[in-house]
Homo-oligomer: A and B are copies of this chain.
Amino acid sequence: MTRPDWIAVDWGTSHLRAYAMGPEGILAEVTSDDGMGSLAREAYEPALLRLVEGWLEDGRRTPVIACGMVGSRQGWMEAPYRAVPCAPMDPAALVAVPTRDGRLDVRLVPGLKQAKPADVMRGEETQIAGALTLWPQFDGVLCLPGTHSKWVRVSAGEVVGFQTFMTGELFALLSESSVLRHAMTGGGWDPAAFAEAVSDALSRPERIAARLFTIRAESLIAGLGGDAARARLSGLLIGIELAASRPYWLGQEVALIGADPLTSAYAEALAMQGVPARHLAGSAAVVAGLAAAAGKVPA
């Protein structure tokens, strides 16, 4: 029977993932599709209980630390943004959520905001905090690829500034819902098409609006295959992200936080620019960051 000291929760728009945490680290892990996007306010506590009830003990309030969109205005309860520059995690700023079930002691991690250029993050601050517990001396640039990719400057343990790119959401919309979806046959990948598209977009980013439809046209009249089409779309979008984030990575070492194969694609695109990158798995970063929030030394 799993009896965690506390429970770490990564609760995003489309997923809910809970970790039973013991003195040595993760004891068990469970997931569901009960993301913020599909839950009304009163549905959060039942969704959490469905997943973790077996870990709770009568007569004891188990700490639950949750990060991600669960703390947004449309989430369980709003955990107001903290303003950068600041440390990515402040255990004193966690927002307690009242629960019906007395065995739960739920607290939400606030996101971060930046006044100018206006920007926000929610969930990534926990991954950044996790990276800093694992690499305490880190000073430099983090890149968190994803639906809304983040480029983050970290110095002396604080987030100094950051910038969000809609790269992942654009890829999903264009490859699944636009006319380009007809070109995305099969499920493969063409590394050469990716590399060429990254270079193309980086050297002539102003042509991006023209380059997208060419994927459709080449698919119709020039035999462009599905693997090359998908890789080229990804390369064009990552390429214009790199064009706009150049001040972040130029002459820097970059640490990538996230899951493969996406982080590998970013690593390859950065390597083509002569930029070395190290890598931390996103799930490890989340758990380490939530442990920092819970005041636990990572195992």
- Taking Cβ atoms with an 8 Å cutoff, the residues of A that contact B are 81, 113-115, 117-120, 148, 163-167, 169-170, 173-174, 177-180, 205-210, 212-214, 216-218, 220-222, 224, 237, 240-241, 243-245
Contact = CB atoms under 8 A, between A and B. Distances in A.
Number of chain copies forming the complex: 2
Contacts of A220: 113, 118, 120
Is chain A's interface secondary structure helix, strand, loop, or mixed overall? helix
A243 B178 contact: no
A165 B210 contact: yes
Contact of A118 (B166, B217, B240): B217
A114 to B, nearest CB: 8
A212 B164 CA distance: 9
Nearest to A151: B210
A114 B119 CA distance: 42
Nearest to A119: B217
29 contacts: A114-B217, A117-B210, A118-B214, A118-B217, A118-B218, A118-B222, A118-B224, A119-B214, A148-B179, A163-B210, A164-B210, A164-B217, A165-B212, A166-B180, A167-B209, A169-B178, A170-B178, A173-B173, A173-B174, A173-B177, A177-B177, A205-B205, A206-B206, A206-B243, A208-B240, A209-B241, A209-B244, A210-B244, A210-B245
Given A114-B217, A119-B213, A173-B173, 15 more contacts: A113-B221, A117-B214, A118-B217, A118-B224, A119-B217, A120-B216, A148-B213, A165-B213, A166-B179, A169-B178, A173-B177, A205-B208, A206-B243, A209-B241, A209-B243
